[in-house]
């Protein structure tokens, strides 16, 4: 799963790197074997490619795997120990909690001056300065300051000698020449520790930028436990990659001219990481739908038909494979294109055309057939007139049904409802007369008969 927040971070990194003629580095931080699977890595690479960040582009490097640098990480840990910037500790959490009286207090520096050397089971802790302040220069948040006295002597290598993420991340950034780190707000608390490590290793820290948290409509941080957060899920549902990219770029930032819907190339040129708002960004699904609808309507008809193909394929569609008629779909595609906001919605728009019988939505039926006798009479009149119609074309069908409406003292819109529900199963959908033309005389009359039989039962 590739979180939409991660996708936003990637896009901001990508835009910044390209603006400056730099390189976007994809590093798979796989030192925790329990949280690392090859299929997850492939998922990340695939998701990035879907939003335009991919291997083969001269501005893209990777993927690199953190585990490949294990020896370099260990060397850095040894360097910190040799310089007196780190020390070995054999305290357990329980021992620390017993000394401090609280499991939440953090490590108390008990082993700082014990002079322990490396042995299996002893962790290596960074010797945080007792005094002073670590100031993080952040392009979005200014210069937040962290008193060193509030930063515990944190672990940089585990009891088995393997470096933890904090150290491995800093060492890899150093090795790969990373100059700017753009990431989520949740990492800000780790930044003073990483900055101390950069300085202890004799290097200048990168420029930091911590992006605002993304929240749902209740202003809660997006969570996979209660929200749809996977980029893959949105793409599978039928949100176009271009629309997703456009929308994600605006989660915390916006162009000064307030023109929001625009191609990525323009967004890339206009984007400035320093202009990102530090306040939480609301993931507005309704706005995303609106964006996606605009992108769908901007497709050529052929492009729209091609985009529909995965949702109409035999392995996903609710009708038999042999029932799909590409020519019939092409006739109605332009009408459907103007009515859907997500590509997967195409199925409900056209299923009446390919299913043996329409999917009958009972609420639609109850609403359209509320006046049972009136609906039955109208369907009978419509059936007789349509059966005798010489020219089975949308204009002729409309004229004939206008006459049916007049005969029953109804406006056309009111008269259409029982016919639409009988033929398509729903009260809303594609324009009725064009739908009847493509459906054909025989199937239309058969569905009117079936509806009349149900009403008369």
Please tell me whether 308 is known to bind a ligand.
no
Please tell me whether 111 is known to bind a ligand.
yes
- Residues across the chain: 457
Asked if 224 is an active-site residue, the reply is: yes
Catalytic residue among 193, 218, 221, 224: 224
How far apart CA 333 and CA 426 sit, in angstroms, is 18
How far apart CA 428 and CA 364 sit, in angstroms, is 9
Q: What is the 3-state secondary structure (H, E, C) of the chain?
A: CCEHHHHHHHHHHHHHHHHCCCCEEEEECCCCHHHCCHHHHHHHHHHHHHCCCCCCCCCEEEEEEHHHHHHHHHHHHHHHHHCCCEEEECCCHHHHHHHHCCCCCCCCCCCCCCCCCCCCCCEEEECCCCCCEEECCECCCECCEEEHHHCCCCEEECCCCCECHHHHHHHHHHHCCCCEEEEEHHHHHHHHHHHHHHHHCCCCCCEEEEECCEECCCCCECCCCCCCCEHHHHHHHCCCHHHHHHHHHCCCCCCCCCCCCCCHHHHHHHCCHHHCCCCCEECCHHHHHHHHHHHHHHCCHHHHHHHHHHHHCCCCCCCCHHHCCHHHHHHHHHHHHCCCCCHHHHHHHHHHHHCCCCCCCHHHHHHHCCCHHHHHHHHHHHHHHHHCCCCCCHHHHHHHHHHHHHHCCCCHHHHHHHHHHHHHCCCCCCCHHHHHHHHCHHHHHHHHHHHHHHHHC
Question: Most distant CA pair in the chain: distance in Å?
Answer: 102
Strand partners, 25: 61
How far apart CA 434 and CA 418 sit, in angstroms, is 17
Structure tokens at 237: 């549902």
Q: Catalytic residue numbers? A: 224
Annotated binding site for ATP: 224
Annotated binding site: 89, 91, 111, 113, 224
Annotated binding site for Zn(2+): 89, 91, 111, 113
């Amino acid at each position: 799963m590739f979180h939409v927040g991660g996708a936003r971070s990637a896009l901001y990194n990508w835009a910044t790197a390209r603006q400056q003629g730099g390189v976007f580095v994809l590093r798979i931080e796989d030192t925790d074997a329990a949280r690392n699977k090859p299929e997850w890595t492939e998922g990340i690479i695939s998701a990035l490619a879907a939003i335009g960040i991919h291997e083969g582009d001269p501005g893209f490097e990777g993927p690199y795997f953190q585990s490949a640098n294990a020896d370099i990480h260990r060397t850095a840990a040894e360097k910190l120990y040799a310089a007196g910037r780190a020390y070995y500790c054999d305290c357990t959490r329980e021992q620390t909690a017993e000394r401090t009286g609280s499991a939440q207090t953090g490590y108390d520096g008990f082993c700082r001056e014990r002079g322990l050397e490396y042995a299996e089971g002893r962790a290596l802790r960074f010797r945080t300065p007792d005094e002073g302040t670590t100031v993080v220069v952040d392009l979005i948040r200014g210069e937040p300051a962290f008193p060193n006295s509030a930063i515990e002597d944190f672990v940089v290598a585990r009891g088995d000698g393997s470096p933890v993420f904090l150290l491995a991340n800093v060492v890899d950034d150093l090795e790969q020449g990373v100059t700017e780190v753009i990431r989520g707000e949740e990492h800000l608390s780790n930044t003073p520790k990483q900055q101390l490590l950069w300085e202890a290793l004799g290097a200048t820290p990168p420029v930091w930028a911590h992006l605002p948290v993304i929240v749902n409509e209740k202003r809660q941080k997006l969570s996979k436990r209660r929200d749809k957060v996977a980029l893959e899920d949105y793409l599978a549902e039928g949100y176009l990659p271009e629309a997703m990219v456009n929308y994600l770029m605006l989660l915390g930032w916006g162009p000064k001219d307030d023109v929001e819907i625009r191609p990525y190339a323009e967004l890339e040129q206009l984007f400035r990481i320093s202009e990102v708002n530090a306040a939480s960004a609301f993931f507005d699904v309704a706005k995303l739908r609106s964006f996606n609808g605009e992108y769908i309507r901007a497709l050529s008809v052929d492009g729209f038909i091609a985009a529909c193909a995965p949702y109409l394929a035999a392995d996903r569609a609710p009708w038999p494979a042999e029932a799909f008629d590409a020519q019939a779909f092409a006739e109605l595609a332009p009408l459907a294109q103007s009515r859907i906001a997500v590509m997967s919605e195409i199925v409900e728009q056209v299923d009446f055309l390919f299913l043996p019988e329409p999917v009958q939505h009972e609420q639609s039926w109850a609403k359209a057939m509320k006046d049972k006798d009136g609906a039955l009479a109208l369907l009978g009149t419509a059936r007789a007139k349509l059966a005798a119609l010489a020219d089975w074309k949308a204009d002729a069908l409309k004229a004939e049904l206008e006459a049916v409406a007049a005969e029953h003292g109804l406006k056309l819109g009111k008269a259409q409802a029982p016919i639409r529900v009988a033929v398509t199963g729903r009260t809303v959908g594609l324009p009725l007369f064009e739908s009847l033309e493509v459906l054909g005389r025989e199937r239309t009359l058969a569905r009117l008969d079936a509806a009349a039989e149900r009403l008369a039962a």
